[in-house]
Amino acid sequence: MYASIIVSVSASDVNKVFEYKIPDGLTDFIAVGHRVLVPFGPRQIQGYVIDIKNEVGYDPSKIKPITRALDVKPVLTAELIKLAKDLADYYVTSYISVIETILPAALKSKSKKMLSLSEDSTEQTEVIWHGMNLPPKIEVKTLSARQLAELKPLIRRGEVEEETIITQHTKKKYARALKPTFIPRGDFGRAYKQLELLDFIEQYDEHVLQSEVIDNGYTQGTINELVKKGYVEKVDVVSGRDPYKSRVFEEDLPKELNAEQQNAYDKISHSVDHDLAETFLLHGVTGSGKTEVYLQVIQKVLDKERTALMLVPEIALTPQMVNRFKARFGDDVAVLHSGLSHGEKYDEWLKVKNQQAGVVVGARSSVFAPVENLGVIIIDEEHETTYKQQDRPMYHATEVAKYRSKYYNCPVILGSATPSLESFARSERGVYTRLELNHRAVTKTLPETKTVDMSEEHRKGNTSIVSEALREAINLRIGRGEQTVLLLNRRGYANFQICQSCGHVPNCPNCDISLTYHKMQHSLLCHYCGYEAGVTRECDNCDSDDVTFRGTGTEKVEETLRDMFNVDIVRMDNDTTSRKGMHEKLLNTFENEKIPILLGTQMIAKGLDYPNVTLVGVLNADTMLNLPDFRANEKTYQLLTQVAGRAGRHELSGEVIFQTYNPEHYAIELAESNDYAAFYEKELAFRRLARYSPYYFHVLFTVSHEQVKKCLEATTHIHKELVDSVTDKAIIVGPSPSPIERINRQYRFQILLKYKSEPNLIDVLHKINEYYNERYKKDKLSLKIDVDPKYIM
């Protein structure tokens, strides 16, 4: 028997399948999806079994054997292996990079797979275990093929269990427990509390956590007395890392659906009942009850004994979404996102792998969760660019979801109040089935929205970032005890420092970008490479002391608002949410302590649902309009509409104020009137004229090197390769410098390929990619190929 194996080496010349012989003792043990240790040159490295065959096409005597298995159960399913291969081909990346993206980080750390007797082991099993002279716990890779073969039926029956101990980032978590010995009782005399505690502990045949005993009112002294008398033993037991263990969730019962929601539910249910791989676009205004539709569809899927996958775009959205899902489905929910520790994420992943959770909720990478028998995949706020990975492998979660949907014959639901133009265009052509929710589920009307021209404000003498209309509206909410959400999509204190004598602006030495002033750290920071410089009161260029700061970020606005309104403020941006758990902590503080103002970047614009928020203000609606990207207008419209939807979601009516210097721009005007259809038509006309998506597909080539000349030579070569390989219907834009020409000491040049149909394109892309992988080895010239990019920057 032979195994086809992908080895854990990222080099391009190793991006292929290698054949290894399965040792005789492991032929019944090794399966597709197993991690194994194999000889590779002079080293022993990790690999993944992707196929098993009876013969190979060359001399078997030259094939090396697998050294040992690293797992008892395969970590990859056949479906995920096929998915990894398809994504590697489509997104022009290595097979191993996709596999390692699919698996949790903990498995890529140093880890040990341990076997031990389970609580269900029989006396016969214990005889076999001890007859092999095995210790209480034994590492899988130290077992011989004969021993593994002998233990395999015991593992299948659950009499021997497998445990992963992570030695790099985290270890299995243990907790102190108390185990009754059940020895005959002596005379307790007047020690009534000890007797009462012993009765309590003996209710548990195995053990009870010491923390639970103490929570029930017993003291450490009473526990120690029982241990001293031999009635109780202290033991350490494995305790799974559950980030929500201490939380209490109030039960949330299904709500009655309105006519629009019921229609959407019925159509999706038909797809679930008939095992159809159908993609739905659930287009509903903010507050229209999309989440309730999701929840009831998931309940239907669970009733059919299938599983559900729910994706959200931002980690900031996860706490509220988790609350709703835990309240509805309890412990049947597993949560996967980057805000968890490696250990927590691994334990949640294992919960899914072992089919102990029917519902998975998480961010982008959760689309690879090892769920089986999928019944539905839901992608909330489907328009968000965070669903597109910006590093290799540069996959898009929606495309992965559609792959998995076809494999399991289940529907995909794409939900949004502001769908991407591509998704809406597909629904217009019938590729997706569009379902409309045009009315809010609770309140009858959307919030009243108005636009303030900040140029006019300045002409009136108001130079503050807060217009008079917004100031009055905030004061009104403070007086009523209601809450306000303010958006400014720019963190830091000031955009840049400038010398008013010579005009010098300190730039990052590594990137072509000015440094942002952060007052709390009293430093100038680069938001691209992380470079940090101290703040000086003299100009580096002319030694003048006439140095000041220009522009406004969230840090400065927070200071301004405190002075203006004299109230508490919660600020949410990358600076305040970098530590674990801070998203949820800040949002809980805002809700539970009734803080008057929540100020933040775009992370607060989506998904948040608070009944007391009646005012939303956008301090600078123009932030994204001037980006050198063809999606700038679309992103502006989406952001404004989404944040406006945070106001008046329950009984109280809402108000929205946009502050802008471009009040007549159609993205802002149509966001004010919440007219998606008009925006779609207007933007589509621009896209058609400029020959962009959804009329054309795109591939972005970005070359980077420390020397400009090398970048220009490489992009010129790529341009020639494309001209020689694609049809004359394709459009090649470039080569040209990237909008930000230098990042982290690397100059960047790019080419944009636009096309409608290029049958040989994948082969062309792989050929170019392989050539520049070799170039990278020689002179560190890097090429990044982004298929279906979300940013042209």
- Residues 152 and 463: their CA atoms lie apart, in Å, by 75
DSSP string, 112-170: EEEEEE-TT--HHHHHHHHHTT--SEEEGGGS-HHHHHHHHHHHHTTSEEEEEEESSS-
Q: Are residues 318 and 406 in the same domain?
A: yes
pLDDT given for residue 472 in this prediction: 94
Give the domain-ending residue among 648, 663, 686.
Answer: 686
Give the domain-ending residue among 145, 166, 187.
Answer: 166
Question: Do the bridges between strand 613-618 and strand 483-487 make them parallel or antiparallel, or are there none, so unpaired?
Answer: parallel
Q: Which residue has the higher pLDDT, 784 or 581?
A: 784
pLDDT given for residue 168 in this prediction: 39
CA dihedral for 302, 304, 306, 311, sign (positive or negative): negative
pLDDT given for residue 634 in this prediction: 92
Q: Are residues 564 and 628 in the same domain?
A: yes
- Residues 244 and 249: their CA atoms lie apart, in Å, by 10
Please state which of the ranges 198-207, 275-284, 294-303, 694-703 shows the lowest mean pLDDT: 198-207
Q: What is the mean pLDDT of residues 99-128?
A: 80
Query: Residues 6 or more apart from 125 whose CB is under 8 A from it?
Result: 117, 154, 159, 160
pLDDT given for residue 205 in this prediction: 64
Residue-wise pLDDT tens digits, 181-234: 888 888 888 888 888 888 888 887 677 888 778 877 888 888 888 988 888 888
- Residues 338 and 340: their CA atoms lie apart, in Å, by 5
Give the domain-ending residue among 63, 79, 103.
Answer: 103
Q: Are residues 459 and 579 in the same domain?
A: yes
pLDDT given for residue 118 in this prediction: 84
Q: Is 173 exposed, middle or buried (0-12, 13-18, 19+ CB in 10 A)?
A: middle
Residue-wise pLDDT tens digits, 12-59: 778 888 999 998 888 888 999 998 888 888 778 889 999 999 888 778
pTM, to two decimals: 0.78
> How confident is residue 85, by pLDDT bands cut at 50, 70 and 90?
very high
Domain membership of residue 665 as a residue range: 448-491+553-686
Which parts are annotated binding residues for Zn(2+)? 499, 502, 508, 511, 526, 529, 539, 542
Find out whether the peptide bond into 393 is cis, omega within 30 degrees of 0: yes
Q: Is the residue at 545 inside a domain?
A: no
Q: Are residues 318 and 456 in the same domain?
A: no
Q: Are residues 557 and 613 in the same domain?
A: yes
Q: Is the residue at 194 inside a domain?
A: yes
Q: Are residues 403 and 276 in the same domain?
A: yes
Q: Is the residue at 333 inside a domain?
A: yes
pLDDT at 720 over 80: yes
pLDDT at 474 over 80: yes
Q: How far apart are the first and last CA of the chain?
A: 50
- Residues 161 and 147: their CA atoms lie apart, in Å, by 15
Residue pointed to by tokens 């100038």: 524
Residue-wise pLDDT tens digits, 451-473: 999 889 889 888 888 999 999 99
Q: Which residue has the higher pLDDT, 744 or 395?
A: 395
> How confident is residue 170, by pLDDT bands cut at 50, 70 and 90?
very low
Pick from 433-447, 524-538, 608-622 the range whose average pLDDT is largest. Answer: 608-622
**For residue 181, what is the domain's CATH number?**
1.10.10.10
DSSP string, 599-651: EESGGGSSS---TTEEEEEES-TTTTTTSSSTTHHHHHHHHHHHHHTTSS-SS
For the chain, give the percent of residues with pLDDT over 90: 37
Q: What is the mean pLDDT of residues 530-537?
A: 83
> How confident is residue 143, by pLDDT bands cut at 50, 70 and 90?
confident
- Residues 68 and 144: their CA atoms lie apart, in Å, by 8
Give yes or no for a contact between 630 and 460, defined as CB atoms under 8 angstroms apart.
Answer: no
pLDDT given for residue 579 in this prediction: 75
Q: What are phi and psi of 17, to 5 degrees?
A: -90, 135
Q: What is the mean pLDDT of residues 94-107?
A: 85
pLDDT at 245 over 90: no
Cα 126 off chain centre by: 44
Q: Which residue has the higher pLDDT, 607 or 612?
A: 612
> How confident is residue 244, by pLDDT bands cut at 50, 70 and 90?
low
Q: How many CB atoms lie within 10 A of CB 703?
A: 27
Q: Is the residue at 134 inside a domain?
A: yes
Q: Are residues 388 and 479 in the same domain?
A: no
pLDDT given for residue 173 in this prediction: 59
Q: Is the residue at 588 inside a domain?
A: yes
> How confident is residue 240, by pLDDT bands cut at 50, 70 and 90?
low
Which residue stretches of 385-461 are H helix?
397-408, 421-428, 454-459
Q: Which residue has the higher pLDDT, 342 or 116?
A: 116
Q: Are residues 413 and 286 in the same domain?
A: yes
Identify the three-state secondary structure at position 732: strand
Which parts are annotated binding residues? 499, 502, 508, 511, 526, 529, 539, 542
Q: What is the mean pLDDT of residues 172-189?
A: 80
Q: Are residues 431 and 571 in the same domain?
A: no
Q: What is the mean pLDDT of residues 410-432?
A: 95
Q: What is the mean pLDDT of residues 608-627?
A: 85
Tokens of 461: 């003498």
Q: Is the residue at 609 inside a domain?
A: yes
Please state which of the ranges 82-96, 456-470, 513-527 shows the lowest mean pLDDT: 513-527
Identify the three-state secondary structure at position 555: helix
Q: Are residues 314 and 398 in the same domain?
A: yes
Give yes or no for a contact between 705 and 747, defined as CB atoms under 8 angstroms apart.
Answer: yes
**For residue 309, what is the domain's CATH number?**
3.40.50.300
pLDDT at 670 over 70: yes
Q: Is the residue at 192 inside a domain?
A: yes
Beta bridge partners of 487: 600, 618
Give yes or no for a contact between 296 and 254, defined as CB atoms under 8 angstroms apart.
Answer: yes
For the chain, give the percent of residues with pLDDT over 70: 94
> How confident is residue 315, by pLDDT bands cut at 50, 70 and 90?
low
Q: Is the residue at 531 inside a domain?
A: no
- Residues 357 and 335: their CA atoms lie apart, in Å, by 10
What letter represents residue 528's amino acid?
Y
Q: What is the mean pLDDT of residues 647-667?
A: 87
Q: Is 209 exposed, middle or buried (0-12, 13-18, 19+ CB in 10 A)?
A: middle
Q: Are residues 574 and 676 in the same domain?
A: yes
pLDDT at 442 over 80: no
Contacts 24+ apart (CB under 8 A), 259-267: 260/284, 260/288, 260/436, 260/437, 260/438, 260/439, 261/288, 261/289, 261/292, 261/293, 261/437, 261/441, 263/435, 264/293, 264/435, 264/437, 265/293, 265/296, 265/297, 267/433, 267/435
Give yes or no for a contact between 617 and 477, defined as CB atoms under 8 angstroms apart.
Answer: no
Work out the angle between the directed axes of helices 318-329 and 582-592 (0-180°, nearest 10). 80
The total number of structural domains in the chain stands at: 6
pLDDT given for residue 169 in this prediction: 41
Pick from 233-247, 337-351, 569-583, 772-786 the range whose average pLDDT is largest. Answer: 772-786
pLDDT at 272 over 70: yes
Q: Are residues 62 and 135 in the same domain?
A: no
For the chain, the average pLDDT equals 86
pLDDT given for residue 321 in this prediction: 77
